[in-house]
Amino acid sequence: MKNKARVAAAAAIAAAAIVLAGCSSGSGGAASAGSGKPASGGNLVIARAADASSLNNTTVFDNNSIFVLQQIMEPLFTVSNDGKTVKPWLARSYSVSSDKLTYTIKLRKGVDFSNGTPMTAADVKFSIDQDTKTGSDGWGYINSAIKEVKALDRSTVEIDLKYAWAPILADLSLFSNAIVPNNYGGESQESFYQHPVGTGPFKWDEWKKGQYLKLTKNTHYWQKGKPYLDSVRWNVVPDANTRKLQVQGGQADVDEYPDWSSFASLKSTPGVVATAFPSTEIDYIAFNQKRAPFNDVHVRQAISDAIDRKALVKAVLYGNGKPANSLLAPGVPYYDGTDGQKYDLTAAKQALAQSSVPNGFSTSLLIASGNANQAAVAQILQSELKPLGIDLKITQLDPTANHQAREDSDFDMAYSAWTMDIPDPDEWTSFAVDPAGGANSAFTFYDNPQVISLNEQAQKEIDSSKRQKLYSQLQRQTAQDAFLAYLYYPPYAYATTDKTKGFFVTPLGNYHLENVYKSGQ
């Protein structure tokens, strides 16, 4: 009975969305990019599906928490707007020793924490050391190449590496390496993260769990004149339709992740600006190579070739996003889609004919329940694999049970996705192709020594053109091995009121709210 009620609920919401889409027509909204002189003042309200969980930047893994804590605490380096490089942020400059093992970093002058105390090298050493200490309980593994962090003087930090490590600056740009006051300003770690202090544009104000989280302007912020906003508030609005209506009604300024099905109607709603920001997300189908026939490369190739990715983008993302051809998304440095995966039914039939199961077989695809995109992909794949004689059953599990099933390798094929946290391919490639990365190659048991070696070489290669060659080769080989069937690269969907200016999301998903202002203040 409950299930029926849920289905009916979903149907009614969808019907309301269609009615609404029909009602709303008119000119497209203005561009969200800042134009004219930014005005100070105003409060920004962001409506999102779920609450943050914790603001401990060294141990938290969900984006709802990360996007908030990034406004409070900042790292030494940050990602550029195109997501391809890192630029100094709380660092002013850096130099690298000839053996690539020592990084000397000069800190930016005049940076204060929101409590008014100046940031020094001792704070930097403490913060990075704290992150490293979390080990496998948190993000500590990201610092595994770091041997020691030394505070040389008040404004100089030296980072000694165990071995040459190309992603080090990208690692330092991760939120887990953001700078907090030395020794948590004398507090315990637990009490510090109840009201964290950092150098970011906003400071801690109030958190009503499950309802809203509010930050106010940091008047000590190092970028003079910024932030423009007086406060930012993230409201928890679980229902996608309600979030959309709140932006239309002016009750919220930003709708985080509206559904693709309502994206077009939001775009044409007067007073609303809907933007798809390029992301680093790749959605893919993982094959469990522990189970036959997925240990056969021809089977995997056949399925990958049979997927019409353009049709998926059209049907599932409503034309937003791109068909995926490579392990890396175009927003990731060293992306190379040459000789990538693509739709080719003839090749699919040939590959299956050469395989251990030339006449097809029965298998199952694991997806997360309650996820409209995954359900749509699953149904399309079901019909696309039928001509090959592959009978695909769809298994739905709620998100946590779904994760658990992948963790336990209890699946044939599974829908999954990845987004990057650092502007470097290594975080994902090590997780995906190297069984030593801890996750059995993204839970597929893929094990190609040639690819593993390419990944290891790329980790240690500092020269970017040589690194490009290694990653290009890695992308070509993994596409051919089809250990994953890449589906598409979806962008990040955001809807804002047309009064919200300067709102921009980097391919890593984070936003710099110090640049946001509201017109008409």
Partner 1 sequence: MLHRLRFVPGRIVQAIPVAIGVTILVFLMSHLLPGNPAVALLGDRATPDRVAALSKHLGLDKPLWLQYLIFLGNLLRGSLGESLSYQQPVSGLVLHAVPVTLSLLLFALVLSLLISVPLAGLAATRPGGARDLAARTFTLLGQGMPQFWVGIMLILLLAVKVRAFPVGGYGDTAADHLYYLFLPALTLAIAMCPTIIRSLRASTIQVLGSDYIGTARSKGIAGAQLFRTHVLRNAAIPTVSIIGVNLGYLVGGSLVIEKVFAVPGLGSLMVNAIFARDFPIIQAVALFVALFVVVVGILTDIVYTLLDPRVDLAAAQGAAS
Would you count residue 21 as binding partner 1 (CB under 8 A)? Answer: no
Residue 14 within binding range of partner 1, rule CB under 8 A: no
How many residues bind partner 1 (CB under 8 A)? The answer is 53
Counting Cα atoms < 13 Å in the Cβ hemisphere of 109 gives 0
With 0-12 / 13-18 / 19 or more C-beta atoms within 10 angstroms meaning exposed / middle / buried, residue 514 is buried
Report in angstroms how near the CB of residue 369 gets to partner 1 at its nearest: 10
What's the longest Cα–Cα distance across the chain? 71
> What kind and span of H or E run contains 282?
strand 282-287
Residue from 403, 460, 469, 499 in contact with partner 1 (CB under 8 A): 403
CB of 114 to partner 1, least distance (A): 23
In the complex, the smallest distance separating the C-beta of residue 141 from partner 1, rounded to whole angstroms, is: 8
Determine, following the binding rule CB under 8 A, whether residue 437 of this chain makes contact with partner 1: yes
Q: How far is the CB of 451 from partner 1 (least distance, A)?
A: 19
Residues 210-249 that bind partner 1 (CB under 8 A): 210-211, 235-239, 241-242, 245-246, 248-249
For residue 10, the minimal CB distance to partner 1 (Å) is 9
Nearer of residues 194 and 450 to partner 1, judged by Cβ: 194
259 with 240: CB under 8 angstroms?
yes
Q: Note whether 371 binds partner 1 by CB under 8 A.
A: no
Q: Do 122 and 182 form a contact (C-beta atoms < 8 A)?
A: yes
**In the complex, minimum distance from the CB of residue 462 to partner 1, in angstroms, rounded to a whole number:** 26
* Least distance to partner 1, CB of residue 65, Å: 10
Residue 417 in the binding site for partner 1 (CB under 8 A): yes
For residue 451, the number of C-alpha atoms closer than 13 Å in the C-beta half-sphere is 24
The tokens describing 106, both together, are 């000069």
> What token pair was written down for 227?
């932030």
Residue 437 tokens read as: 């990365």
Residue environment code for 301-310, b if the CB has 16+ CB neighbours within 10 A, otherwise e: bbbbbbbbbe
User: In the complex with partner 1, which residue's Cβ is closer, 241 or 473?
Assistant: 241
Of the pair 56, 182, the CB lying nearest partner 1 is at 56
Choice from 277, 335, 418, 489 touching partner 1 (CB under 8 A): 418
Q: Which is nearer to partner 1, 9 or 33 (CB)?
A: 9
Nearest residue (CB) to partner 1, 2 versus 224: 2
Phi first, then psi, for residue 486 (nearest 5°) are -75, 140
Shortest Å distance, C-beta 402 to partner 1: 8
Pick between residue 151 and residue 237 the one whose CB is nearest to partner 1. Answer: 237
Strand order through the sheet with 362-368: 322-323, 484-489, 282-287, 413-418, 362-368, 391-397
User: Does residue 401 bind partner 1 (CB under 8 A)?
Assistant: yes
Residue 95 within binding range of partner 1, rule CB under 8 A: no
Backbone angles phi, psi at 515, to 5 degrees: -90, -5
Sequential DSSP letters for 394-433: EEEE-HHHHHHHHHTT--SEEEEEE--SSSSTHHHHHHHH
Least distance between partner 1 and beta carbon 387 (Å): 32
Nearer to partner 1, 94 or 257 (CB): 257
CB of 355 to partner 1, least distance (A): 30
The token duo for 237 is 């609005």
Q: Which residues of 25-42 are buried (b: 16+ CB within 10 A; e: fewer)?
A: eeeebeebebeeebeeeb
CB of 404 to partner 1, least distance (A): 4
Nearer to partner 1, 346 or 400 (CB): 400
Residue 153 makes contact with partner 1 by CB under 8 A: no
- Mask for 32-61, x = binds partner 1 (CB under 8 A): ---------------x--xx-xx------x
Nearest to 262 by CA among 372, 369, 380: 372
Instruction: Give yes or no for residue 405 binding partner 1 (CB under 8 A).
Output: yes
What is the DSSP pairing of strand 362-368 with strand 391-397? parallel
Residues 127-146 as x/- pattern, contact with partner 1 by CB under 8 A: --------xxx---------
Among 18, 31, 35, 62, binds partner 1 (CB under 8 A): 62
Distance CA 25, CA 200 (A): 40
Name the residue with tokens 């070509």.
476
Q: Which residues pair with 94 in a beta bridge?
A: 105
Rounded distance between C-alpha atoms, residue 349 and residue 352, angstroms:
5
Instruction: Look up tokens 């141990």; give the residue.
Output: 59
Tell which one of 3, 98, 400, 465 touches partner 1 (CB under 8 A). 400
Residue 395 dihedral angles phi and psi, to the nearest 5°: -110, 125
Give the residues lining the site for partner 1 (CB under 8 A).
5, 8-9, 12-13, 16, 19-20, 47, 50-51, 53-54, 61-62, 135-137, 208-211, 235-239, 241-242, 245-246, 248-249, 251, 397-405, 407, 416-419, 431, 437-440
